[in-house]
Copies of this chain bind each other. A is one copy, B any other.
Amino acid sequence: MTPELKNDRFLKALLRQPVDQTPVWMMRQAGRYLPEYRAIRKVAGDFLSLCKNADLACEVTVQPLDRYELDAAILFSDILTIPDAMGCGLYFEAGEGPRFERPVRTREDIDALPVPPMADALDYVMHGVKTVRRELNGRVPLIGFSGSPWTLATYMIEGSSSKDYRYAKGLMYSDPGALHTLLDKLSTAVADYLNAQIAAGAQAVQIFDTWGGVLTEPAYREFSLSYMENIVRALVRESEGRQVPVILFTKGGGAWLEQMAATGCDALGLDWTVDLGQCRTRVGAQVALQGNLDPSVLFGSDDLVISEVERLVRSFGPHPGHIFNLGHGINQHVDPQRPATMIAAVQRISREIHSGSH
């Protein structure tokens, strides 16, 4: 028996339906800025072990909901689970970000990559989704997610994060066919992975295209957006009698919102470099918009946080279809009191706007 969803503001806003107040969540809301997260992390050992332990992953997923009035939970996991499941050997060097033991550099490497069924290969993720759903018991919806094919490909090809994407973009410009083969495999895997998460209980999904913004416009269309469009089309968009909305987030993709909206997704994530009001004017009611407070605003005073929230919420205006979020993950050095101030301001100001009193 699925418990009734007690707070569906987030899902409604994603579908451009009216809500009493703007829903809010934060990218990386389960994370190092919270002392209770750091305590669990110590118990779990390294980051990947925490991702793979469903009970502990569930605990850190729910922690920010116990502290703040958030309108959605997001499964604690990593965007690079798929390449790990394909055999690339994900590991983390302390303070260095993700690494792969076996980078994918050549057409032979790419042809040899398996695409295992993700419900099995990443069963710990599905187990995590089910555990969190049980624990949430209808409190708020749970977001599933994946990296985009292009973003996964950059890490797999470089073997780590990169400043210039020398190998990934080198392959794009020297052997685009090989890159397309890799992206084909990855989009199959991502669609399968997200559908498995939806089957396990994810009530909305987000595709993180963290590195789409390093491409030229034609390259973005050919090597990132078109594969995300394939995934959007392949997703099971309904579960438990409700629509399962899909959010696309290309960091640095502010110039391409119209093209992203045309994929058939329900919402676009925005980083902080674009003006929310202008973005809303550009896409109208075609998609919802999620974002886009500069995460560094949380280093400012409470007054500053409130005034920046006000500017942002008012710039979107009284339309339905805004989900308040940061423009990128919350910084680990933020004072945990600041998000409380931010969320209270979103609630107060958006209630005023939605009730028609300005």
Contacts and interface: CB of A to CB of B under 8 A. Distances in A.
A301 to B, nearest CB: 6
Contacts of A331: 164, 166
Query: Which A-B residue pairs are the 4 nearest by beta carbons?
Result: A173-B300, A169-B296, A170-B299, A217-B275
A330 to B, nearest CB: 11
Q: How extensive is the interface on chain A, given as a class?
A: 20 to 34
A138 interface: no
A294 B173 CA distance: 10
A12 to B, nearest CB: 28
A318 interface: no
A333 interface: yes
A341 to B, nearest CB: 13
A239 interface: no
A257 to B, nearest CB: 11
B166 A296 contact: yes
19 contacts: A164-B295, A164-B296, A166-B331, A169-B296, A169-B299, A170-B300, A172-B296, A173-B297, A173-B301, A173-B304, A174-B300, A174-B301, A216-B272, A216-B273, A217-B274, A217-B275, A218-B311, A254-B255, A255-B255
A165 interface: yes
Nearest to A293: B216
Nearest to A253: B273
A252 interface: yes
A353 interface: no
Given A166-B331, A213-B273, A296 B252 contact: no
A85 interface: no
A219 interface: yes
A174 B299 contact: yes
Given A255-B255, A255-B273, A255-B274, 13 more contacts: A166-B333, A173-B294, A173-B297, A173-B299, A173-B300, A173-B301, A174-B300, A174-B304, A214-B273, A215-B273, A216-B272, A216-B273, A218-B311
A296 B213 contact: no
Interface of A: 164-166, 169-170, 172-174, 213-219, 252, 254-255, 272-275, 294-297, 299-301, 304, 311, 331, 333
A297 B169 CA distance: 8
A170 B255 CA distance: 27
Given A255-B255, A274-B255, A216 B173 contact: no
A296 B217 contact: no
Contacts of A254: 255
